[in-house]
């Protein structure tokens, strides 16, 4: 079910700003998160290497001096003392009664990192591919002994897994907070612009009986209001409008220019639809490019070519036409549930909303077409059943669509 309206359109600055901020924050948080995981993993491995190196050296020194070495074994580590013949002479509990954890024996007095012995892959702790093994060989009264010290790699994986889980939970929460804050702050920032838009729209609809207020501050929004008012000043200086405080009205010359531009715009729309065959929902924007370049001679030819039409494709009257028909119209929003209506014309706000025009066109609810109001919501939205299917119109846009009763058509 299509819903018209510009509030959630992808073309909205508010929507695009929110999406952009989500993309930026998502990329930054993702890169930082991957960096944190990599850095922690690398740091833990380096710490492992330092721990086993220190433990191997301490045990080897104790052996060479004939002292006890069990107090050098730290939590999460294990050791083996292996004779020159490959027999395990001593070991921590986790490595007791197992083959030597490595078959590489450093030279006496040297220390090195050694690979894991395949025969010792009996426990997951030794087989996780993360644990570090440090070996050193020392001379003792019993002959050369090799000390193997290992940090069980599961600690690294558990720590890394905890960080990844935290990031997986925090990532969507960060995006949610970012989206909500951006949506709210953008709405606050654009509120003066929307208020100006409404005021300017009312100037068109209500014979310019309003004034654009300049918001406090010196930001871009203030400059926009100043520019709009400077434009009004130029129109006044050129004799097109008269202004008394907040009241602005067109002069006779201003009304003549506005009427001429409106007539040429709507004739161009008729030409684009009736002759050229451009899609109905595209003609308003396209005619906006034509209205200022159509000369009086071309205008006269267009009237003859098109048969002096009374309305544009959106149902709005063409000034100066001899075929104008006045009917009692009302806003679509006033229609009751279950009521049948005929679309008479489309107001300027709806004409400027591309999504609304597309939705109306696809549903077949264009001027002259009928529809039934099948449902209304508490917020004022309407659900219509038109010739091509259901159509949902929001309350704001319903004020820019004007309808008549089916019995009044052609009266």
Q: What is the DSSP string of 74-95?
A: PTTEEEEEEETTS-EEEE-GGG
Please name the residues in contact with 69: beta carbons below 8 A apart, sequence gap of 6 or more.
58, 59, 62, 63
Q: At what angle do helices 13-64 and 154-205 cross, to 10 degrees?
A: 170
Exposed e or buried b for every residue in 369-390, given b needs 16+ CB within 10 A? ebbebeebeeeebbbbbbeeee
* Helix (H) / strand (E) containing 370: strand 370-376
Two tokens at 153?
A: 């790699």
Compute the distance between CA of residue 37 and CA of residue 382 in angstroms, rounded to an integer.
51
Q: What pLDDT score was predicted for residue 186?
A: 85
Are 214 and 229 in contact by the 8 Å Cβ rule? The answer is yes
> For residues 13 and 186, what is the distance between their CA atoms, to the nearest angstrom?
8
d(CA 19, CA 157): 35
Q: Which residues pair with 81 in a beta bridge?
A: 90, 147
Pairwise CA distance, residues 271 & 281, whole Å = 14
User: Which pLDDT score is estimated for 9?
Assistant: 56
Give the pLDDT confidence score for residue 307 in this predicted structure.
94
- Give the pLDDT score at 60: 77
**What pLDDT does residue 201 have?**
57
CA distance 48 to 25: 34
Closest listed residue to residue 111, CA positions, set 52, 173, 28, 157: 52
Supply the pLDDT for residue 279: 92
Tokens standing for residue 295 = 């000369």
Question: Which helix (H) or strand (E) element contains residue 335?
Answer: none
Q: What stretches in the chain show pLDDT beneath 70? A: 1-11, 69-76, 93-94, 119-131, 152-155, 196-221, 245-247, 408-411
- The pLDDT score that the predictor gives to residue 202 is 56
Give the pLDDT score at 127. 44
> What local confidence, expressed as pLDDT, does residue 272 receive?
95
pLDDT of 250 reads: 81
Q: Angle, to 10 degrees, between the axis of helix 220-237 and the axis of helix 154-205?
A: 20
pLDDT, tens only, 343-369: 999 998 888 888 899 999 999 999 999
User: Distance between CA 271 and CA 360 in Å, rounded?
Assistant: 20
Structural domains of the chain sorted by starting position, each given as residue range(s) with its CATH number in brackets: 13-189 (3.30.450), 253-306 (1.10.60.10), 330-408 (2.30.30.90)
Name the DSSP class of 70. G
Listing DSSP states for 240-299 in one string gives SEEEETTEEEE-HHHHHHHHHHHHHHHHHHHIIIIII---GGGHHHHHHHHTTT--HHHH
Q: What is the DSSP letter of 311?
A: B
Q: Which two tokens stand for residue 101?
A: 């954890």
**Could you tell me the two tokens for 194?**
């929307």
Find the length of the chain: 411
Give residue-wise pLDDT tens across range 199-251: 665 554 444 444 456 566 555 667 777 777 777 778 888 888 787 766 678 88
Nearest to 331 by CA among 210, 205, 191: 205
Q: What is the DSSP letter of 107?
A: P
**Burial class of residue 114 in the structure, from the number of CB atoms within 10 Å of its CB (0-12 exposed, 13-18 middle, 19+ buried):** buried
- Cα angle 22, 24, 27 (rounded to 5 degrees) comes to 100
DSSP 213-229: ---SSSSHHHHHHHHHH
- Nearest CA among 354, 362, 363, 369 for reference residue 282: 354
Q: Cβ distance 68 to 58 under 8 Å?
A: no
Question: In DSSP terms, which residues pair with 3 in a beta bridge?
Answer: 392
- Distance between CA 288 and CA 317 in Å, rounded? 16
Whole-angstrom distance, CA of residue 56 vs CA of residue 124: 22
Whether the model clears a pTM of 0.75, i.e. scores above it, the answer is no
Q: Are 78 and 94 in contact (CB under 8 A)?
A: yes
């Amino acid at each position: 079910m299509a819903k018209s309206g510009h509030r959630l359109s992808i073309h909205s600055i508010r929507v695009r700003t929110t999406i952009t901020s989500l993309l930026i924050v998502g990329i930054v948080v993702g890169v930082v998160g991957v960096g944190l995981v990599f850095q922690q993993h690398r740091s833990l491995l380096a710490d492992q290497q330092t721990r086993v190196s220190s433990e191997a050296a301490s045990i080897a020194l104790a052996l060479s001096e004939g002292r006890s070495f069990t107090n050098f074994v730290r939590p999460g580590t294990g050791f083996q003392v292996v004779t020159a013949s490959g027999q395990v002479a001593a070991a921590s509990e986790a490595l007791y009664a197992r083959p030597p954890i490595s078959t590489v024996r450093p030279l006496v007095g040297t220390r090195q990192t050694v690979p894991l012995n395949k025969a010792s892959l009996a426990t997951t702790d030794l087989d996780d591919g993360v644990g570090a093994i440090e070996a050193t060989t020392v001379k003792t009264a019993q002959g050369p002994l090799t000390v193997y010290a290992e940090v069980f790699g599961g600690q690294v994986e558990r720590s890394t897994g905890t960080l990844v889980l935290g990031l997986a939970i925090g990532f969507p929460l960060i995006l949610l907070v970012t989206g909500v804050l951006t949506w709210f702050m953008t709405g606050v920032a654009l509120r003066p612009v929307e208020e100006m838009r409404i005021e300017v729209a009312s100037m068109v609809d209500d014979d310019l009986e309003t004034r654009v207020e300049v918001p406090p501050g010196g930001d871009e929004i203030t400059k926009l209001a100043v520019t709009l008012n400077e434009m009004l000043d130029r129109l006044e200086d050129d004799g097109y409008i008269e202004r008394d405080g907040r009241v602005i009205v067109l002069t006779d010359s201003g009304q003549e220019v506005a009427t001429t531009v409106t007539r040429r715009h709507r004739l161009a729309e008729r030409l684009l639809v009736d002759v050229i065959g451009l899609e109905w929902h595209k003609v308003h924007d396209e005619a906006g490019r034509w209205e200022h370049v159509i000369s009086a001679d071309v205008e006269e030819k267009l009237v003859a070519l098109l048969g002096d039409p009374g309305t544009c494709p959106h149902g709005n009257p063409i000034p100066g036409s001899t075929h104008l028909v006045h009917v009692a119209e009302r806003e679509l929003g006033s229609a009751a549930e279950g009521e049948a209506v005929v679309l008479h014309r489309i107001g300027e706000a709806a004409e400027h909303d591309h999504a609304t025009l597309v939705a109306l066109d696809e549903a077949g609810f264009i001027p002259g077409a009928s529809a039934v109001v099948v449902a209304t919501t508490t917020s004022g939205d309407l659900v219509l059943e038109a010739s091509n299917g259901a159509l949902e119109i929001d309350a704001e846009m319903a004020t820019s669509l004007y309808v008549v009763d089916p019995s009044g058509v052609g009266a």
